Amino acid sequence: MAILKIARMGHPVLAGIAAPVADPTDPELKRLVADMIETMKDSDGAGLAAPQVHVPLRVVVFQVPGEPIDETLSAVERFDHTAPLTVLINPVIQVMEEVLEGGWEGCLSVPGLRGWVERPRHIRYTGFDIAGNRVSRTARGFHARVVQHECDHLDGMLYPLRMQDLSKLLFESEVHHWLEQQETQNQAVK
């Protein structure tokens, strides 16, 4: 296994449309996926797409350990908020609800920055795992966000291109200012 070099915004591999994988069980793909998982973990990312490691194929890996449990959610909804370490080949996303939700995103290909991105909050995704089995799951919250962000990489889309308001593109080290401001506003409302 190896830690792979990550392409950064501006590299053409991040702007192209990645090709579908012909055979999800190809042994060479297994090696790529193992290296992608190692690279993702090494850089502390929630997900990684193959074009980010200079391989223009429709493969993503991600892991969403879970958010604090919200007691108002049903068991099914809670389940939708987490994902084990997942390899998704030739993914397809279906929006389940048109309702958008905003959240801060970062990207290993856009190091040091964070941006506020609105995305559908409830999706279904399908694809194949590395054994060639079909994967089909529903996702909400950060889980839905991570999957959409990673799959966007397969179509040459980086999160700043999804942003409605570029004043919310910040250096990671400055996000606390924005959060503090929010806090003050919330207290004022109370």
40 part of the interface to Ni ion, by CB under 5 A? no
CB of 30 to Ni ion, least distance (A): 23
107 part of the interface to Ni ion, by CB under 5 A? yes
Give the SS3 label for residue 38.
helix
Residue with smaller CB distance to Ni ion, 33 or 107: 107
36 part of the interface to Ni ion, by CB under 5 A? no
Based on the residue annotation, tell me whether 98 is a catalytic residue of this protein.
no
147 part of the interface to Ni ion, by CB under 5 A? no
Catalytic hit among 67, 150, 174, 183: 150
Single-letter code of the amino acid located at 176: H
CB of 104 to Ni ion, least distance (A): 13
Contact 93, 125 (CB under 8 A): yes
Residue 18 CB partners (closer than 8 Å, separation 6+): 49, 50, 51, 56, 57, 58, 59, 153, 154, 155
For residue 178, the surrounding DSSP H or E stretch is helix 175-189
7 part of the interface to Ni ion, by CB under 5 A? no
* Nearest-angstrom CA–CA distance, 37 and 4: 10
Residue with smaller CB distance to Ni ion, 73 or 170: 170
Q: How many other CB atoms sit within 10 Å of the CB of residue 143?
A: 26
- Strand-pair category, 83-105 with 47-49: unpaired
Tell me the sheet residues that pair with 48: 61
Taken in order 13, 161, 100, 40, the sign of the CA dihedral is positive
Number of residues that bind Ni ion (CB under 5 A): 1
Residue with smaller CB distance to Ni ion, 26 or 38: 38
Q: What is the DSSP letter of 7?
A: P
154 part of the interface to Ni ion, by CB under 5 A? no
CB of 71 to Ni ion, least distance (A): 32
Residue with smaller CB distance to Ni ion, 107 or 123: 107
CB of 107 to Ni ion, least distance (A): 3
Q: Which residues are catalytic?
A: 150
Chain residues binding Ni ion by CB under 5 A are: 107
